[in-house]
Structure 1
Amino acid sequence: MTTAADSPARPRAPWWFNLAGQLLQPWVRIRRDPAEPAALLQAGVPVCYVIERDGFSDALILQRACREAGLPNPMQPLAGTRRRRSVFALARRDGSLLGRNRKRNPNEALRQLVHSLEGLPDSDIQIMPVSIYVGRAPSRDSGWFRVLFSENWVMVGRFRRMLALLLNGRDTVVHFSTPVSLRQTLDESGGITPERFARKVSRVLRTHFHRIRAAVIGPDLSHKRTVVDAVLNAEPVRAAIAATAAKEKISHAKAWRKAHKLVLEIAADYSHPVVRSASFLLSNFWNKLYDGIAMHHFDKARAAAPGHEVIYVPCHRSHADYLLMSYQLHVSGVVVPHIAAGVNLDLPLIGPILRRGGAFFLRRSFRGNALYSVVFNEYVAQLIDRGVPMEYFIEGGRSRTGRLLAPRAGMLAMTIRAFLRAPRRPVLFQPVYIGYEKLMEGKSYIGELSGQPKEKESLLGLLKGLKVLRQRYGHVALNFGEPIELTPLLDAASDHWRSAGTDPEAKPEWLGAVTDRLAEQIQVNINRAADVNPINLLALALLATPKHAMAESDLLTQLDLGKAMLEELPYSDRITLTPMNPAAIIAYGEQMGWIQRVQHPLGDVLTATGERAVLLSYFRNNVLHLTATAAWVACCFLNNRRMSRSSILRLGRIIYPFIQGELFLPWDGDGFVAQLQATIDFFVRRGLLEAVSDGRVLERSPGQDDGAFQLRVIARSLIQAFERYYITIAALVKNGPHTLTGAELENACSLTAQRLSLLNELTAPEFFDKALFRGFIQKLRERRIVWTDDAGKLDYDASLEGMVRDARVILSREVRHSILKITPGGDKEPAAGDPAVAPDALPADAAATDLHRRHVVAEQREHERRSGSDRRLPDATGPAPPHRDAAE
């Protein structure tokens, strides 16, 4: 590669140019992107730099950046040509200090380069575009005044540029793009004239610089008025205005004013100075609130973004989500997206600031307001048409349970239809997982799940909430998941999707299926990018014990097992895991106030009591999907000492669609079975299970053994899901077919779960969440196990009784009896007879079967004895073994 050191041509920059560079050096600090641009060049080929705008300061910055990176000097003559400099600009100023800026055609420089290659088929020139930004994002050490002179879309004069360098020169970014071979481009142009070729390359370079500038400082948005005018002049909106005037019998002018008022209610008023000012303010705010904000896999997301319309789709867990996302993107050199926010946040004083930060507002429901629906759809279409990145939460609201909520695909459908109408730029959906160690809204979430009404957002409430600044909320992680391109999904749905956008009112029959598939894939990819922090691991372990307490030695062992499981059974390549060891995790949990230590002569006990335990369930639910396969295998051994491997896999395949729908798991049926196989092998390696009969039968250790205890802890992270499934089935069967509507069944299940939670002191408020029951009932509908009759009542298939029988493998007789007793309905109960386990769960040989059943009966007797029950199980297989191996 040719460098400044070994180039045969000597630099010819005048003395005053070099002097100016030395004078400017203390005021400018350059950050190169990429850090080592020399790796982009082809060795031995002359390089000619192209900058977006001509300027004395840009030339000085470029020369210094090239010198520091070991690149050829841009101020030296270009080898093999008559050009005195190895750089040219697309836009130039005239020679007058007070003259107006004007753009000159750079075609002359390009024609010179093309002519230099004529008659020399083996010669080539690399054209490297270089973008220079001064003061793109002033740091928290910057003053407010500096924001006014940060980089923007306007080609500023010399005096303003000088002020920008003096104020913001220490935040200078020089972006080197991959060079283009002029010879290759010329050969691919099909023999056009040098003049046409120069114009073509000039257009490509202008587009390239425009795209890079938009990605770095944001799109070139004119005043909000221009966007508003574009929306009101769009044909769908004009038609909706006319329809409103006719329907409501009002004048066209009055209907137009209604539409104008609606679009002003919706539209953002993006302001670069406000965004930079907010960045300045938030840097101090985050430092007071959090101990650190980490981003993982952001480089992959940034590499995939150029050339796409990027839609950020993060999970929604706190009001801090959108502020964190915007702040982190801004300080990382990426444009802040426009964010869809609920109109409830359009508060006095706060709303205007949010608008200038890129927020646009939408109502919770469009129902009954056709004009609003058309106006909002057109506004979204205008943003996409202008290449504005967007951000919205497809869950529709903040998760109160820590789980991903069932997606609401309204914004996705609008985005897809807007793209169909003008598919100029491919759309890329970027899922983002946001993980906290403590939530500002934690207490309010508990209240809402317990039945208290949601507190309405208000300015007074916001002022009261400032007391959160007195607390520390640990670390935050933003993990960028695998991006999803829209075009392949459309290609798979229809060969003619490109013609579907000709009619803006048309709704192709395949649109709903594509939207649902996209929504589910977004949720899956969010979960595949989870961050496992120390609080997640503590919650998984402690909440699986009856009193949320564990001996320190047991907790250390369980944490070590949990980390090993996540490392040896990788969920995806984007999962991140805390580097802390088990002892450090416990110490950190104590420091954060989540757990407390009870000292005892026989060994300290770590516990989470009262409200802390309830709040910890949120952080357990964040990562519940990561332990789903391990929890299923462990559940199979809660009430069974031995099980055949084939039974675990068969029952796992049956239950998987319901777990998948609840936890947004990434595998198909075969993939889940393969993951179960790997999990079983992991448990065997760790000594938690023993493989006998050539690996066909699996056996756990006795109930008092450490291995059995560890399995129980893992199992209980998922056992409540199976209890909810059984509640639903029990309510259906007890009430009988053609009796309940879907809404009535949801309500009956929620009430049953709520009462069961009160009786058993469960610390998981989501246990009786109607949304989880609704999701399970929907899965039953999809699999045609349950359907709605002509009267709107639910009917069900006989296979429901098979699901009841399979449930006995997992749920103890006590739990099933409690559920059946509490569940409202008639006298009918699921499936007569109640064997201890399902027949297919038993080992194959008769001797093993007899021993297995003896163990089960003994375990259940011991369990009842410890819980104070007077009931006794009949022993159909003879006396129980003399030893005790109860499963607690």
Structure 2
Amino acid sequence: MHNMNADSPARNRAPWWFHLASQLLEPWVRIRRDPAEPATLLQGGVPVCYVIERDGFSDALILDRACREAGLPSPMQPLSGTRRRRSVFALARRDGWLFGRSRQRAPNEPLGQLVRSLEGDAERDIQIVPVSIYVGRAPSRESGWFRVLFSENWVMVGRFRRLLALLLNGRDTVVHFSAPVSLRSVMSEAGEIRPERLVRKIARVLRTHFRRIRAAVIGPDLSHKRTVVDAVLNAEPVRNAIAASAAKENITYAKAWRKAHKLVLEIAADYSHPVVRSASFLLSNFWNKLYDGIAMHHFDKARAAAPGYEVVYVPSHRSHTDYLLMSYQLHVSGVVVPHIAAGVNLNLPGLGPILRRGGAFFLRRSFKGNALYSVVFNEYMAQLIDRGVPMEYFIEGGRSRTGRLLAPRAGLLAMTVRAFLRAPRRPVLFQPVYIGYEKLMEGKSYIGELSGKPKEKESLLGLLRGIGGVLRQRYGHVALNFGEPIELTPLLDAASGDWRAATSDPDAKPEWLNRVVDDLADRIQVNINRAADVNPINLLALALLATPKHAMAESDLLAQLELMKSLLTELPYSDRVTITPMDPAAIIAYGEQMGWIRRARHPLGDVLAADDEQAVLLSYFRNNVLHLTATAAWVACCFLNNRRMSRSSILRLGRIIYPFIQGELFLPWDAEGFAAQLQATIDFFVRRGLLESTGEGRLLERGPGQDDGAYQLKTIARSLIQAFERYYITIAALAKNGPHTITAAELENACTLTAQRLSLLNELSAPEFFDKALFRGFIQKLRERRIVWTDEAGKLDYAGALEDMVRDARVILSRDVRHSILKITGGDDKDAPKNEPPRAPAEPAPAEAAAPAPTPAPVPADAGSDDLHRRHVEAERQAHAHAPDDAGKPSL
């Protein structure tokens, strides 16, 4: 680091009035340096010359103070080895006193002096350090409303406006030091180029650098929507679409052009820096009234990966506040607010214009039947990408009503990929973001919609009424976790070695395009889940919803919370998953404070419970993190109705069921990776004493039902058991109807009705149990794996593997559950053969438990009865060990 004292005599060479002005300005300016220690960037012993973007007395004062505080050489001292009286120069200067504008100043004189000073002396060098200065980029909560009008933007203002900006926003001044550039290295690389050309080249590179930094800090210069609208309407695809529309509708080209113009205005954002800053000022107060804190994790990694890329933020979508939270947090963190794709239903009178000026652009729910709209919207997206505008959209297509990630809708992703193929000037980076809440303002409306109530239409009056009710509650903490970013170019390289050839035809749709888009969509969802935040409410929901009455003794709940935290910590799902630091006692206290659970006092020990309505709402937060416990839940499910199982059976059945769990929960592993996770989870349960390993690790056994370990396993298992019940409903309904008799849509509807009835009969607290989308996803996965397919008449046919799934379900689902499902679907109960002996008690008698069962002989891994061979009830094991192949199948 440079010694400040060595520069002191040089600093005294500045005029007396400069020092006076510096002292007068000091109380009004608070500087934040980026990086905090810029001296580490410099090479010791080499003269330093600073270059700033715009000439100005205030910028010189701020730079001098920032250098002094950082221990850097003063910009006011003469530059060693040259005739320059100052070690700083600017690329542009102001004219006029009050409202002067900038004019480009060819920096030939200062740059030429620097170049000439190095000629003839190959040992000398000069470090050129670009410095960007921003006053009032992000007004804080304490800032006055008036201050946002004088914060930093793209317009070069006069001295009077700059003075007002310093007085109003000087305490929020950012000085960004870029890495120094060796002038000697630049001259060496230039070779024989003439000095005049070299100077112009350096100036051009510096101007580009400053524009890039300014765009990254305050956003691209999109102050005039007109420029984007004109570019869209003048694009060749849009002109062709206008001509086609005119011919099709038999109208003039001018009239068709006006229709296109109206469509662009309906779509386009009208980004305004003052509005963004004003919204930031308002939202800081709003968030403080609403939330106890907003945390961002792994944001530094995301910011470090972004430079040089067109960044597309792709968050999970759980609330209307997602839009505002993301934009607000990015803005206050020093990153430009992205343009956000919003549903046209939010383009409400009064609200729509504000959202537009905050960066929102609007799209219709469907493009079908409007070719002109489709072309115009695609071109608008292409213009944003071509201009390097960061974007944000939700690939789920709407807010999740269940807490799970929804199946992606890849329309906007496809538009983004095609826009990049058309003009691959800047690589595209997709940034997944997990947004986690502890309470949702839309929670009750979600439950109503899942129960069959129609979705309420958005209106300004409804919004105002909702805000009034929202502000009377507290919603805990919010977490924004930034996941592993995904680069588009490597995906294209893997799909096609000559993908760049597709850029020559803007209308081309290569055969590999859909595959790339689908792969990209799945990776985004997987990476969102890999960045989950586990908050106290998630953990309470996982534990309490696994009990029949949503209640647990306090001692049991403490033990279950400790087990879950240990599981997530010792077997990390991803290095980007974050877990609440609260201990189990603090988690329970927090749940009571938030009103999620209540305490029932009792002499034998307090009981913690969630009321019925709260339990339904808690299912949302359990589903947020269900994927994190999927592996543990599968292992535990294997011991719900079995006392003993072989390790190989757990792995074999796990490989069969995994594609369906993976598709529903967006799990990150391949089949072998999942098997490895299962092995690690089994070992964890053995270490914790929940399972006992015998037979050289081949056999696993849990304790009796009254054992604490068995209780904990059952609690973990029940978080996933409803998924298997849905799977069984689907295959039972299909088997009941038989092949070639029912379409996929009819099966989906039948399954939904069956699940609704089962939910009513059993008072389930999980509305997503009968979510039609989950049945649709399972049926689609059956079709992808060719277990089910569509015949020529559009009806479903299936393979024998479906019958194997019915038989395997007996390992996981209890007889009562299976019979209840078959009774509703109307299936013939061949799952319980007439000659089957009475079922033994769920747990063996004490005498039987004391005498260990004989170790069964090994059986082949693919044996059809392997899933029954380890049954803990000896009578049933003997009855099924050598059952015929068709045993246990529903009637076909």
Q: TM-score range by the shorter chain?
A: over 0.9
The CA distance in 2 between the partners of 1:510 and 1:782, in whole Å, is 18
Among 518, 523, 539, which residue is 1:521 paired with?
523
| Mapped pair 1:351 → 2:361 | no
**Aligned match of 2:640:** 638
What corresponds to 1:148 in structure 2? 149
| CA distance in structure 1 between the partners assigned to 2:880 and 2:798 by the alignment | 36
Which has the higher mean CA deviation after the structures are superposed, 198-207 or 708-717? Answer: 198-207
Relative to structure 1, the CA distance from residue 567 to residue 843 in structure 2 (aligned partners, 3 Å threshold; closer, same or farther) is: farther
Amino acid at match of 2:553: A
Cα separation, partners in 2 of 1:33 and 1:874, compared to 1, 3 Å: closer
Distance 2:129 2:308 in 1: 18
Q: Distance in 2 between matches of 1:706 and 1:211?
A: 61
Q: In structure 2, do the counterparts of structure 1 residues 874 and 810 end up closer, same or farther at CA, with 3 Å as the change threshold?
A: closer
Contact 2:644 2:872 in 1 (8 A): no
Structure 1 residue 855: Cα displacement:
9.5
8 Å CA contact 2:98–2:160 kept in 1: the answer is no
> Residues 829 and 354 (structure 1 numbering): CA distance in 2 closer, same or farther, change over 3 Å?
farther
- Alpha-carbon contact 1:484-1:522 (below 8 Å) kept: yes
Distance in 1 (alpha carbons) for counterparts of 2:816 and 2:166: 75
CA drift at 1:180:
2.3
Task: Name which of 445, 448, 471 aligns with 1:469.
Answer: 471
TM-score with structure 1 setting the length: 0.93
CA distance, structure 2, for counterparts of residue 282 and residue 854 of structure 1: 62
Name the CA shift for 1:370/1:715 in 2 (closer, same or farther; >3 Å): same
Residue 502 of structure 1, CA deviation: 2.3
Q: State the 1:189 CA deviation.
A: 3.2
Give CA deviations for 1:52-85 in whole Å, capped at 9, x if unaligned.
Answer: 1111110110111111111121211223333322
1:866 is aligned to: none
Q: Quick check: 2:99–2:159 contact (8 Å CA) kept in 1?
A: no
Question: Would the alpha carbon gap of residues 96 and 140 (structure 1) be closer, same or farther in structure 2, given more than 3 Å must change?
Answer: closer
Code of the aligned partner of 2:49: C
Q: 1:100 deviation in Å?
A: 5.6
Shift of 1:396: 0.3
Please give the residue correspondences for 1:428-577 in structure 2 after superposition, counting only pairs within 5 Å: 428-466=429-467, 467-577=469-579
Instruction: Report whether the alignment pairs 1:334 with 2:323.
Output: no
Contact 1:727 1:753 in 2 (8 A): yes
- The alpha carbon displacement at 1:361 in A equals 0.6
C-alpha distance 79-9 of structure 1, shift in aligned 2 (>3 A): farther
If the length of structure 2 is used for normalisation, what is the TM-score? 0.93
Whole-Å separation in 2 of the counterparts to 1:877 and 1:803: 16
Q: Which runs of 4+ in 1 moved over 4 A?
A: 94-100, 826-837, 847-850, 852-859, 873-878
- In the alignment, the residues of structure 1 paired with residue 256 and residue 830 of structure 2 have an alpha-carbon distance, to the nearest angstrom, of 60
Any stretches of 5+ residues in structure 2 without a counterpart? 841-851, 860-864, 882-892
CA contact (8 A) 1:805 1:831 kept: no
Give deviations 1:595-621, integer Å, cap 9, x for gaps.
Answer: 000111100000011110000000000
Cα distance, 1:402 vs structure 2? 0.1
Q: Is the 8 A contact 1:804 1:831 kept in 2?
A: no
Structure 2 equivalent of residue 398 of structure 1: 399
2:862 counterpart residue number: none
Q: Specify the code of the residue in structure 2 equivalent to 1:501.
A: T
Q: Distance in 1 between matches of 2:879 and 2:811?
A: 18
Corresponding residue for 1:748? Answer: 750
Residue 42 of structure 2 is aligned to residue 32 of structure 1: no
Q: Distance in 1 between matches of 2:107 and 2:352?
A: 45
1:97-112 equivalent positions in 2, closer than 5 A: 101-112=102-113
In structure 1, list runs of 5 or more residues that go unmatched. 862-872, 879-888
Contact 2:100 2:158 in 1 (8 A): no
Deviates more, 1:80-89 or 1:170-179: 80-89
Aligned to 1:388, the other structure's residue is in SS state coil
> Does the Cα contact within 8 Å between 2:66 and 2:175 map onto a contact in 1?
yes
Instruction: Say yes or no: does 1:408 pair with 2:418.
Output: no
CA shift, 1:877, in A, is 9.9
**Aligned mates of 1:398, 1:35 — CA distance in 2:** 39
**Letter paired with 2:2:** T
Alignment partner of 1:85: what SS?
coil
Letter in 1 for 2:471: L
Aligned-pair Cα RMSD in Å: 2.4
The secondary structure found in structure 2 opposite 1:482 is coil
Alpha-carbon spacing, 1:831–1:780, altered in 2? closer, same or farther (3 Å): farther
SS in structure 2 of the partner of residue 5 of structure 1: helix
The answer to whether residue 394 in structure 2 is matched with residue 424 in structure 1 is no
Name the residue aligned to 1:52: 53
Identity of aligned residues (%): 83
Change (3 A) 1:517 1:794: same
Distance 1:382 1:526 in 2: 27
Deviating more after overlay: 222-231 vs 177-186: 177-186
User: SS state of the match for residue 457, structure 1?
Assistant: coil
Q: Please give the secondary structure, in 2, of the residue aligned with 1:521.
A: helix
Confirm or deny: 8 A CA contact 2:223 2:272 kept in the other structure.
no
Range moving further from structure 2, 593-602 or 254-263: 254-263
Per the alignment, residue 771 of structure 1 pairs with: 773
Partner of 1:584: 586
Cα–Cα, structure 1 residues 98 and 462, in superposed 2: closer, same or farther, change >3 Å? closer
AA aligned to 1:114 is V
Contact 1:730/1:829 (8 A) holds in 2: no
Q: Aligned to 2:614, which of 591, 595, 612?
A: 612
- Distance (whole Å) between structure 1 residues aligned to residue 335 and residue 61 of structure 2: 25
Task: Give the CA deviation at 1:233.
Answer: 1.1
Label 1:672 to 1:848 Cα distance change in 2 as closer, same or farther (>3 A). Answer: closer
What pairs with 1:833-848 in structure 2 (closer than 5 Å)?
845-846=855-856
Residue 719 of structure 1 is matched in structure 2 by: 721
Contact residue 635 and residue 716 of structure 1 kept, 8 A: yes
Matched, 1:4 2:4: yes
1:278 and 1:701 map into 2 onto residues whose CA distance is 58
Secondary structure of 1:148's partner? helix
The one-letter amino acid paired with 2:584 is: P
Instruction: Figure out how many residues of one structure are paired with residues of the other and give that number.
Output: 861
Which residue of structure 1 aligns with residue 371 of structure 2?
370
Distance 1:123 1:633 in 2: 69
Alpha-carbon distance between aligned partners in 2 of 1:514 and 1:277, rounded to the nearest angstrom? 40
Find the residue that maps to 1:208 and give its secondary structure: helix
Partner of 1:808: 810
State the match for 2:262 in structure 1: 261
State the alpha-carbon separation in 2 of the partners of residues 401 and 809 from structure 1. Answer: 28
What residue number does 1:678 align with?
Answer: 680
Structure 1, 461-470 or 23-32: larger mean CA deviation: 461-470
Structure 2 distance, partners of 1:577, 1:198, is 54
1:790 paired residue among 783, 789, 792:
792
Q: Distance in 1 between matches of 2:230 and 2:176?
A: 35
- SS of the equivalent of 2:104 reads coil
Alignment of 1:139 with 2:140, yes or no, is yes
- State the AA in 2 paired with 1:777: I
Cα shift at 1:222: 3.4
Assess if the C-alpha contact under 8 Å between 2:49 and 2:126 holds in 1.
yes
The DSSP-based 3-state class of the residue aligned with 1:470 is coil
Aligned to 1:75, what secondary structure does the other structure show? coil
Equivalent residue runs for 1:36-435 within 5 Å: 36-93=37-94, 101-435=102-436
Partner secondary structure for residue 220 of structure 1: coil
Q: CA deviation at 1:453?
A: 0.5
The alpha carbon displacement at 1:499 in A equals: 2.4
Q: Distance in 2 between matches of 1:706 and 1:188?
A: 73
Q: What is the CA deviation profile of residues 446-488 of structure 1, one whole-angstrom value per residue up to 9, with x for unaligned ones? A: 0000001001101121122121110111111111111111111
> What's the counterpart of residue 848 of structure 2?
none
